[in-house]
Structure 1
Amino acid sequence: MPLSQTSSLLAIYPHITSRDRLLLQLLDDHRVLTTGQIHRMLFSARRTCQLRLAELAALGLLERFRFSRGGGGSQPWHWTLGHHGHRFQAAAHQRPEPTARASNQTVQRLSANPHLAHLVLTNEFFVRLAGYARRHDDARLDRWWSEQVTTKQYRTITADGHGLWTANGVTVGFFLEADTGSEPLGRLVAKLDRYAKLIRRGGPRYPVLFWLGSQQREEHLHRLLHGQHTTVGVATAIHASEPADAVWLARGATGRVPLAGLPSDHGQPVADNPNYDDHGVFVL
């Protein structure tokens, strides 16, 4: 039975599992995930995932929304923190407790955000890496930072996300630029100036990954990159590919390599972040 907006969080605790807490943290960090994304990261059976999400929604820990598709049918459910989820995370991180009105406004603004599709796409990239790591013992998503955390840590850049990926004992860092096709490619190339500035300041020399919607757009971007003089490493792949696999085409290269095969220089460590462990690593 759904709890009231003013129910004590203590009454919910017996219903919250360690997996639930991880999901609440993921949604606190990354704002929204679809049913399929949550399933691939945290559950083995899709039906079990669907039932558990419904239970968490009944407890007020989660909220969900979805829109109709242009050609008929509906988009997948999008999940975000409900009021009690916001309260729980605020208590966990010693933040002021939100009001029910504030929590409701957060959900409404997220659902109506014109950049929602871009946010879901960005999260999809990291979800695929996390899902790959679940299936391969020698792979691990060590860090998944949102645009907000990445900007706070590095200041100079405005990447869509930042991560550390380990495969076969090799750890690489990267910055992600998830492309929905709404921006001219020239504007994407212009973003490299900010990454070059970060390198000049002594920051990490991580490759910038352009994740593109089509092979045609990828080819066009490489034509624009040809002859560009920059200290920034660039690699491209398309949305249909598995980002952990040998799908990355570096600027000027003729063959594709896996994500762990891209050159990466970690530079100076970033500042501590309270949402991650003592090593600055978020582990699924």
Structure 2
Amino acid sequence: MITTTTRQHTLRGHLPGRHTARAASSVEHQAMLASRLTARDKWLLALLHEHRVLTSFQIQDAAFPSGRSARQRIRDLYLWRAVSRFQPFQQLGSAPMHYVLGPAGAAVLAAEHGLEVKELGYRHDRAMAIAHNQRLAHTIGVNDFFTSLIARTRHTSAGEALAVWWSEARCARHFGDLVIPDGYGRWRTGSGAVVREVEWFLEYDTGTESLTKVGRKLAAYARLAESTGIATPVLVWLPTTRREAGARTALAGVHAGLDNPRAVPVATAAADLLDPTSPHPSPAEAVWLPLTSARHGRAGPRYNLADLADAWPGLAPPAGQGGEDGEGEAGDAAVASPYRLPPPNPIPPRATPNRGARGKH
């Protein structure tokens, strides 16, 4: 039996120190952030602007040594409204917290490039709308693919590095009249005068799309190769080896019918091939099976990402190989312009202590 009524205002406990949207855009708040945001914080803001949403686990993989340090720092950024967050519904268990660029973070990012916030194309409501977007799981999956490569870069000393990571939106601006990849990347190995790079377009499959539709995308990549004169590998990432087998059949049928199949190198891999005992499993492992290796029913060896170009003799190295600017194409200028920021370097700057910031990071 209910004997008393709980007043509504007592249920509205807010997080102490959380700034209002108006305060976050004030001159005073921006001045405060100038003394507290580190180079790594600003890098993270640029990454969120480029790739729309990252989970707490992806942020940890990309930039932090531990979950504790990641949680402490992200909490500060959240309280300062540099980032915003949401937690999607999940049938079993709890989904990780998802983070997007916040209003104060957008103001910092715009100011760094000499722009107004509106020139970023940023609106807080649009940034948060990804929470209800039907492609949220797909976007998170693509970002997981690349952040796992960043984690491998950070935690190995084998001279491997993710040199370039472009978002779907950036790919659409460059290639959208012909095809829209889920992402573009470059993997670099070696150092000094001996440097190798492999570039690729990513097609990330969640298992819900028709395999026939997956195969038909190759015709669009063939038109892109013909238009640019550049043969760029297409990597198809699938959830299971069973799904991969079906996809390879669909891809092989379309690939064989292309006017110039060699202009569209294709390789597939499945997530369940990753070593679960590895501290940092990633698509850099030997999980890639080139489509040409399945000719005449003979399955060839699986390649790691660094050696994948060896599967296609005569494949030209990426233009501008060995650069350190973090850009995938010379045409994507490093100088910002309205609605066109340069792509952030996939590798975060080295962490530096900031006495004005709360928490250790």
SS at match of 2:230: coil
* Structure 2 match to 1:250: 290
Shift of residue 280 of structure 1?
A: 8.0
* Structure 2 match to 1:210: 236
Shift of residue 36 of structure 1?
A: 0.6
| 1:153–1:270 contact (8 Å) kept in structure 2 | no
* Structure 2 match to 1:170: 196
| 2:171–2:180 contact (8 Å) kept in structure 1 | yes
Shift of residue 11 of structure 1?
A: 2.1
Between 151-160 and 172-181, the greater mean CA deviation after superposition:
151-160
Dislocated runs of 4+, deviation >3 Å: 267-270, 273-276
TM-score calculated relative to the size of structure 1: 0.91
| 2:214–2:250 contact (8 Å) kept in structure 1 | no
Distance 1:204 1:270 in 2: 14
Distance 1:113 1:150 in 2: 20
TM-score calculated relative to the size of structure 2: 0.72
- C-alpha distance 11-67 of structure 1, shift in aligned 2 (>3 A): same
Distance 1:40 1:20 in 2: 14
Indicate which of 292, 305, 326 corresponds to 1:259. Answer: 305
* Structure 1 match to 2:334: 274
**After superposition, what is the alpha-carbon deviation per residue over 1:250-279, rounded to whole angstroms, capped at 9, x for unaligned?**
103111001122225336954123379xx9
SS at match of 1:262: helix
Shift of residue 25 of structure 1?
A: 0.9
Task: Report 1:10-25 matches (<5 A).
Answer: 10-25=31-46
Task: Report 1:128-277 matches (<5 A).
Answer: 128-137=148-157, 138-155=159-176, 156-168=178-190, 169-227=195-253, 228-229=255-256, 230=261, 231-240=263-272, 241=274, 242-253=282-293, 254-263=300-309, 264-265=315-316, 266=318, 269-274=329-334
| 1:244–1:260 contact (8 Å) kept in structure 2 | yes
Distance 1:39 1:61 in 2: 17
- C-alpha distance 162-10 of structure 1, shift in aligned 2 (>3 A): same
Indicate which of 68, 84, 87 corresponds to 2:89. Answer: 68
Distance 1:281 1:80 in 2: 16
| 1:235–1:248 contact (8 Å) kept in structure 2 | yes
- 2:128 maps to 1:108: yes
| 2:60–2:66 contact (8 Å) kept in structure 1 | yes
**After superposition, what is the alpha-carbon deviation per residue over 1:103-146, rounded to whole angstroms, capped at 9, x for unaligned?**
33123311111101111101111101111111223101110000
SS at match of 1:52: helix
SS at match of 2:250: helix
| 2:166–2:343 contact (8 Å) kept in structure 1 | no
The number of equivalent residue pairs is 279
Q: CA RMSD in A?
A: 2.2
- C-alpha distance 115-11 of structure 1, shift in aligned 2 (>3 A): same
Distance 1:179 1:251 in 2: 16
Indicate which of 65, 73, 76 corresponds to 1:44. Answer: 65
| 2:25–2:103 contact (8 Å) kept in structure 1 | no
- C-alpha distance 238-275 of structure 1, shift in aligned 2 (>3 A): farther
Between 186-195 and 260-269, the greater mean CA deviation after superposition:
260-269
| 2:62–2:151 contact (8 Å) kept in structure 1 | yes
SS at match of 2:269: strand
Shift of residue 35 of structure 1?
A: 0.5
Distance 1:275 1:106 in 2: 25
SS at match of 1:273: coil
| 1:27–1:80 contact (8 Å) kept in structure 2 | yes
Specify which structure has the bigger relative contact order, considering alpha-carbon pairs within 8 angstroms and separated by 6 or more residues.
Answer: 2
- C-alpha distance 51-281 of structure 1, shift in aligned 2 (>3 A): closer
- 2:23 maps to 1:7: no
| 1:165–1:173 contact (8 Å) kept in structure 2 | yes
Amino acid at match of 2:137: A
Shift of residue 37 of structure 1?
A: 0.6
Identity %: 32
| 1:174–1:209 contact (8 Å) kept in structure 2 | yes
**After superposition, what is the alpha-carbon deviation per residue over 1:121-179, rounded to whole angstroms, capped at 9, x for unaligned?**
01111101111111223101110000111122234220000011112432000000011
Distance 2:208 2:104 in 1: 35
- C-alpha distance 97-267 of structure 1, shift in aligned 2 (>3 A): closer
SS at match of 1:252: helix
